[in-house]
Structure 1
Amino acid sequence: ARVWDMRTKAEVHCLGGHGDIVSSIVAQDHEPQVITGSHDKMIKLWDIGTGRKIKSLTNHKKSIRAMVIHHEEYSFASGAGDKLRQWALPEGEQIRKMEGHNTIINALALNKDNVLVSGGDNGSLYFWDWKSGHNFQKIQSKVQPGSLSSEAGIFAAAFDQSSLRLITGECDKTIKIWKED
């Protein structure tokens, strides 16, 4: 991962140390810390002021595919091929392992009401309460007519500014907008 000065367009730091593809990066708004997740199964916490690694988190046993940072709390979540986990910052202590979404998690999104959504390789969407880790809803996305069932994967997810609509990018080349019933 590289840190750039957007005013001068110059590279400030090269954050080396992952052994495979860096698949996810999140940063805090108010702290000089960046978090990287990689297919090497590691999450690394970095001080972007100095470019130094603070800590490596090795709890995941499969590739890190997605991360999301909490908008108010000093915490983040990571999704991988094995589990969904929540972490406290700045040190990276694991808060909880969120069990049940038994597929490769490719996408995470968090809204202002503390609803965490995990999107899976099999087209499943799981809705979680950030505070308790409770899974309160599951949805299976349907593939576009003419697509194969193997194209059901969800690879991107984000809430709009109202936090009422979830937008997903999917393997069948569609973008879907979800809203509460």
Structure 2
Amino acid sequence: MDETDMTDNSFRAVIIQQLERRNIVCRQFDSLFTSYCELTEYVANIARTGRIRHGSNASLAGSSDRTVELEAELADLYRKKEQNDQQLIETNNRLGVVVRELSAVSIVKEEYQKENQKLKKKLKEKEEELAALEEANTLLKDEHFALQACILIILLASYNSIENKYREAQEERNNLVDRIKDLKEKEVQWFNEQNEREQEEHRRRLAADIESALIMSHNNEDKTYGFEIISSANQVLDYKGDVIPNHCKTKLDYGDDVNDILWHPNGDMFAGGGGDHKLRLYKLVNDKFEKIVSLAGSNESILRIDFAAETSQVLGAGNDNAVRIWGTDNHIVKHSLTGHGNKVSSAKFFEDGLQVVSGSYDRTFKLWDLKTAKCLRTYFTNSVVYDITSSDKSGMVASGHYDRKVRFWDTRLNEPVRVVELANKVTSLVLSLGKSIF
């Protein structure tokens, strides 16, 4: 009932508004209608006065001029009446157009009112749905909070259990680590004892051969498979004095630790390696050094460098347990020789640059084939290798070690053919220009 009353009131209001609009539109024509009525009444009055005068003064022939004036005035009044009639017609036409437009607007307004009622109804339905959704959302939130609380309790219990297991596993790991350390210490001790026994036995076996070889050596020179030792325990060296530089010809700021410097055999350039993980090539121009290139590829510091003029290659042995070989012409990495268990302390080209020998802190040195980039053989030295050198002329390899010994190797054999013991650990070895004396 309330909705019906509201609808009736709205229709009454619409009708009243439309009537008011009509009055506003028609009010502008009131003066026109009033003038028209007054003009009509005036014309009728003049016509009536003219007839009366015409009837009462018919005998007056001299009043024709007045009649002509009145007729002219009457014609003018008729002309004005026609104009007013035309304006009235046009006004009525415009009024009809306005009424039609008003009717169309009223129809559209009724349609909009109906659409508004529908939208209000839909809005009410949506509000009811929204209220239901909010209620369901509140219920879901409560259930979610309860589920989170349950999950948190379960996770805390699981975490405590896992933490206890982790603690137990950590204790077990520590026990295993301690046991492994003990076993390692025992293994190292046994290994050292075994090495000492083997070295002692080896020295006894070679003592006779060495002594006989020394006796048979020509001019008391110590020959060891192509190597000539220029110093021995039985030979007194002729001391020539120290050589002290008196000035610095040129200086190069490397910018990092420098572990090794080596001139190329042709003397045109040299290479440097250090803590920046790069092998740098320099050339000397007008007593000044110019960097040619920095060869990247090493993951740690570079410890040793060697050139192979025959194959235009340069190698770098590094702390990353690998030996990398670059081309000196194209500056790209040609080989990456990996397999050592500790840092590679030294490496040299062998067999005219077709092979490489490398010594490591893992107490081994390896022979590599550069055609296949594979290890041909591994030699166990029983001590850390500090430096290694090779002779293509004799096909021999010499290695300097932490245990104060220099070992001479025939690459065809697994054991050294000669061991020379010095007063302290051997950190560097070098061959003469003829590569027969070290």
TM over 0.5: yes
Structure 1 residues 73, 166: closer, same or farther in 2, change over 3 A? same
- Is the 8 Å Cα contact of residues 388 and 400 (structure 2) preserved in structure 1? yes
CA–CA separation in structure 2 for the residues paired with 1:94 and 1:36: 16
- Residue 333 of structure 2 corresponds to 94
Paired letter, 2:261? I
Unaligned runs of 5+ in 1: 1-7, 143-151
Are residue 16 (structure 1) and residue 16 (structure 2) matched?
no
CA–CA separation in structure 2 for the residues paired with 1:75 and 1:10: 33
Which of 141, 147, 159 aligns to 2:381? It is: 141
Which of 356, 360, 364 aligns to 1:124? It is: 364
Higher RCO, 1 vs 2 (CA within 8 Å, ≥6 residues apart): 1
- Residue 350 of structure 2 corresponds to 111
- Residue 400 of structure 2 corresponds to 169
TM-superposed CA distance for 1:13, in Å, is 2.6
**Cα deviation code 1:41-63 (max 9, x no counterpart):** 22111112240112222321211
Are residue 153 (structure 1) and residue 384 (structure 2) matched?
yes
**Cα deviation code 1:53-79 (max 9, x no counterpart):** 122223212111112111411111111
Paired letter, 1:15? L
State how 1:42-81 maps to structure 2 within 5 Å: 42-49=278-285, 50-81=288-319
TM-superposed CA distance for 1:98, in Å, is 1.6
Which of 13, 26, 33 aligns to 2:269? It is: 33
CA–CA separation in structure 2 for the residues paired with 1:157 and 1:169: 6
Paired letter, 1:105? V
Structure 1 residues 93, 31: closer, same or farther in 2, change over 3 A? farther
TM-superposed CA distance for 1:139, in Å, is 1.3
Using the size of structure 2 for normalisation, the TM-score is 0.35
CA–CA separation in structure 2 for the residues paired with 1:39 and 1:14: 19
TM-superposed CA distance for 1:40, in Å, is 3.0
CA–CA separation in structure 2 for the residues paired with 1:159 and 1:174: 16
Identity percentage over the alignment?
A: 18
Using the size of structure 1 for normalisation, the TM-score is 0.81
Paired letter, 2:400? G
Unaligned runs of 5+ in 2: 1-244, 414-438
> Over aligned residue pairs, what C-alpha RMSD do you find?
2.0
- Residue 43 of structure 2 corresponds to none
CA–CA separation in structure 2 for the residues paired with 1:32 and 1:103: 34
Q: Which has the higher helix share?
A: 2
- Residue 40 of structure 2 corresponds to none
Paired letter, 1:19? D
Paired letter, 2:345? N
Larger Rg: 2
CA–CA separation in structure 1 for the residues paired with 2:399 and 2:306: 15
CA–CA separation in structure 2 for the residues paired with 1:73 and 1:9: 38
CA–CA separation in structure 2 for the residues paired with 1:107 and 1:97: 15
TM-superposed CA distance for 1:117, in Å, is 0.6
**Cα deviation code 1:85-133 (max 9, x no counterpart):** 1100145211121222232000112223522111001211111013331
Structure 1 residues 112, 135: closer, same or farther in 2, change over 3 A? same
CA–CA separation in structure 1 for the residues paired with 2:366 and 2:392: 20
What is the total number of aligned residue pairs between the two structures? 164
- Is the 8 Å Cα contact of residues 341 and 362 (structure 2) preserved in structure 1? no
Paired letter, 1:162? K
Q: Give SS of 2:250's match.
A: strand
CA–CA separation in structure 1 for the residues paired with 2:331 and 2:271: 10
Structure 1 residue runs of 4 or more that deviate by more than 3 Å after TM superposition: 8-12
